């Protein structure tokens, strides 16, 4: 089955497209990435999505419709001259994620997306898990389990860092820490979108006082699923309002998240796959390796950039097949889910 995965992450760098050929034979799943691309958001759309959490109900509903139309238009643009998919599997864009009160909201109308493209569409994956008492995240571990089983750990260093691993045959996972979402915000102050290769951070020095404040963040004591609301409460003010130089803030921040990530890796001869934008931050990867003896594998660039979109395509594939695509062992729900809404 040819499935188009669409993914918009918390770092707001653009919309990821992954056109994937998926198949199942004798209980084994295979995937082949046919075409992929990231289409950056315009300043207009980046601004609208950033402000989404502040909108009235009426204006947020309008954004939901408008964004669905944007997804459809960009999908048609991406697919021009390419094989047509049997299915579109869209994550949407997360505006609110507060599973503690049973709430998660991803915008991007599936109905509008399906109408604009003329292709069967599936999405809205998180709500069923949250309704079952789960965190609605992370979702990627089902793909880690079934498509990337040769690795002991699978890390995604996106806006948020998260990982999954097998513990005696049971898949476990959690959101570990903020990642690119904070470093991107920091370098926005000097009109950069991101800290390429960790260049700016590598010029700074670790500030032990700020490091201690970040290390003692309450989320690390009990958290499992990390949302923007959690960051805005105290983590972001702690680092953004600090009077240190930009370079020292970045260096301290990289030290902090490297410690969190490295301490969650086994210290034996394990294999760790790292994908997401943070995998291109050479300084950050070097710091993570200092905290762990696990062998870190950085795949080819397409897989770094599009693994999440590939797995969301896979989740849609599983939904259409009527097979489990969200694992209670990683979200804390009362049961596994065959989740998603099909249009």
Query: Which H or E run contains 1?
Result: none
pLDDT at 312: 97
Task: Quote the DSSP letter at residue 84.
Answer: P
Looking at domain 144-302, which of 3.90.550.10, 3.65.10.10, 3.30.420.40, 3.90.70.10 is its CATH number? 3.30.420.40
Same fold, 2-133+315-342 and 144-302: yes
Pairwise CA distance, residues 277 & 301, whole Å: 10
List per-residue pLDDT tens for the chain, 343 residues long. Answer: 999 999 987 668 799 999 999 999 988 999 999 999 999 999 999 999 999 999 999 999 999 999 999 999 999 999 999 999 999 999 999 999 999 999 999 999 999 999 999 999 999 999 999 999 999 988 999 999 999 999 999 998 988 898 999 888 899 988 889 999 999 999 999 999 899 999 999 999 999 999 999 999 998 887 667 878 889 888 999 999 999 999 999 999 999 999 999 988 876 778 999 998 999 999 999 999 999 989 999 999 999 989 989 999 999 999 999 999 999 999 999 999 999 999 9
Q: How many residues does the chain have?
A: 343
Res 11: pLDDT: 66
Tell me whether strands 103-107 and 28-39 are parallel, antiparallel or unpaired: unpaired
Nearest to 42 by CA among 73, 21, 20: 73
Q: Where are the domains of the chain?
A: 2-133+315-342, 144-302
d(CA 205, CA 185): 19
- H/E stretch holding 41 reads none
Fold of 2-133+315-342: Nucleotidyltransferase; domain 5 (3.30.420)
What is d(CA 78, CA 117) in angstroms, rounded to the nearest whole number?
11
pLDDT of residue 259: 95
């Amino acid at each position: 089955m040819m499935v188009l995965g669409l993914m918009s992450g918390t770092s707001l760098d653009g919309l990821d497209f992954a056109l994937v050929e998926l198949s199942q034979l004798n209980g084994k799943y295979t995937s082949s990435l046919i075409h992929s691309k990231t289409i950056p958001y315009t300043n207009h759309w980046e601004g609208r999505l950033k402000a989404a959490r502040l909108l009235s109900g009426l204006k947020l509903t309008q954004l939901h419709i408008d964004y669905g139309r944007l997804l459809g238009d960009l999908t048609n643009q991406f697919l021009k001259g390419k094989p047509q998919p049997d299915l579109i599997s869209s994550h949407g864009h997360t505006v609110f994620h507060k599973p503690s009160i049973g709430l998660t909201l991803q915008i991007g109308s599936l109905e509008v997306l399906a109408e604009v493209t003329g292709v069967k569409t599936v999405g809205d994956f998180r709500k069923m898990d949250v309704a079952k008492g789960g965190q609605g995240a992370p979702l990627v571990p089902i793909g880690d389990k079934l498509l990337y089983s040769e690795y002991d750990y699978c890390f995604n260093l996106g806006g948020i860092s998260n990982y999954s691993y097998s513990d005696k045959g049971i898949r476990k996972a959690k959101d570990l820490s903020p990642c690119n979402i904070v470093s991107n915000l920091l370098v926005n102050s000097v009109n950069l979108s991101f800290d390429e290769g960790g260049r700016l951070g590598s010029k700074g020095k670790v500030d032990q006082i700020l490091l201690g404040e970040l290390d003692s963040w309450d989320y690390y004591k009990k958290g499992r699923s990390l949302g923007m609301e959690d960051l805005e409460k105290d983590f972001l003010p702690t680092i953004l309002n600090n009077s240190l130089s930009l370079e020292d803030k970045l260096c301290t921040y990289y030290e902090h998240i490297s410690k969190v990530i490295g301490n969650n890796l086994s210290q034996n001869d394990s294999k760790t796959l790292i994908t997401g934008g943070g995998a291109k931050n050479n300084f950050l990867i070097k710091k993570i390796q200092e905290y762990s003896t696990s062998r870190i594998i950085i795949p080819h660039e397409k897989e770094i950039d599009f693994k999440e979109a590939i797995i969301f395509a896979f989740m849609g594939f599983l939904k259409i097949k009527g097979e489990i695509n969200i694992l209670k062992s990683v979200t804390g729900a009362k049961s596994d889910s065959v989740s998603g809404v099909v249009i």
